[in-house]
Amino acid sequence: MFLAVDVGNTQTVVGVYEGDELKASWRLKTVRDDTSDDICARMQSLMAMQGLDMSAVHHAALASVVPALKEAWADALCALCGTEALLCTAASAGALFQADYPHPEEIGADRVADAVACKAKYGFPSVVVDFGTATNIEVIDERGMFIGGIIAPGLQTSASTLISSGAQLFSVDLSAPEHAIGRNTREALESGILFGEAARVDGLVSRIFQELGYEARVIATGGLASRIAHLSKRIDEVDPDLTLEGLRLISEADRF
């Protein structure tokens, strides 16, 4: 079996694959002071709860945008799997990730994995919108080349900043209201946050299409994708496991 790990600023997503089948996955809070021992204990517990045998996992791949946790997770995966994990980068993705980009080494590991999986599953041209701590948009052109994208404040990041800055505002549960015009403070906040994010994404994607000179299939992923996709006029598909799938494909290509 294979273990895919995507360490984000807010959440860490872990998936266990048997062949190309995702057997189990977890979306965990990212704990920045985790040690490798903490991670090992947590993973063994999660696997046991799903009736999965940790000793059957023989290889792993890691994408991390949190430098402080990259080493801890790499050490933990090595201890759990008995071999070093593949670290996802533009270089380690090899031929699966072709980029027309000045400095591909600067591209985040999650963005690389998203682009690899999107190209393999949905073809090109295509656009990935990854809803996380940041809202990342990745663009794969009609040649199949990653040409860049957009990084914007994420949905929860924007909401938290707004709410913490307003003395009379309060936390909302990020459920879209029935109407854009809020009839109370909660509805007004929900409208601004949810409809606002969908409109922002649609506007950015429209600008991308203008610059490309053609339209492309738009795939949404990330923990908050399902909350926005049905409000968007541009998103075509929701694929919550896209990053994990990219890690699996990169690891498979590296091994064979």
Last residue of a domain, one of 58, 87, 116: 87
Burial of 104 (0-12, 13-18, 19+ CB in 10 A): middle
- pLDDT 10s digits, 81-131: 999 999 999 999 999 999 999 999 999 999 999 999 999 999 999 999 999
Domain range holding 71? Answer: 2-87
Answer yes or no: do 126 and 231 share one domain: yes
Q: How many angstroms separate the CA atoms of 115 and 243, rounded?
A: 8
Answer yes or no: do 143 and 242 share one domain: yes
Residue 251 included in any domain: no
Q: Which CATH number characterizes residue 9's domain?
A: 3.30.420.40
Answer yes or no: do 134 and 240 share one domain: yes
The domain tally of the chain equals 2
Please indicate, yes or no, whether the overall pTM of this predicted structure exceeds 0.85.
yes
φ/ψ region of 94 (left if φ > 0, alpha if ψ in -120 to 50, else beta) reads: left
Answer yes or no: do 73 and 106 share one domain: no
Give the residue carrying structure tokens 């266990």: 16
pLDDT confidence of residue 161: 67
- pLDDT 10s digits, 167-210: 445 566 667 778 899 888 888 888 888 899 999 999 999 999 99
Which listed residue (110, 114, 141, 239) is catalytic? Answer: 110
pLDDT confidence of residue 166: 53
Answer yes or no: do 83 and 98 share one domain: no
Q: Is 254 a catalytic residue?
A: no
pLDDT confidence of residue 48: 93
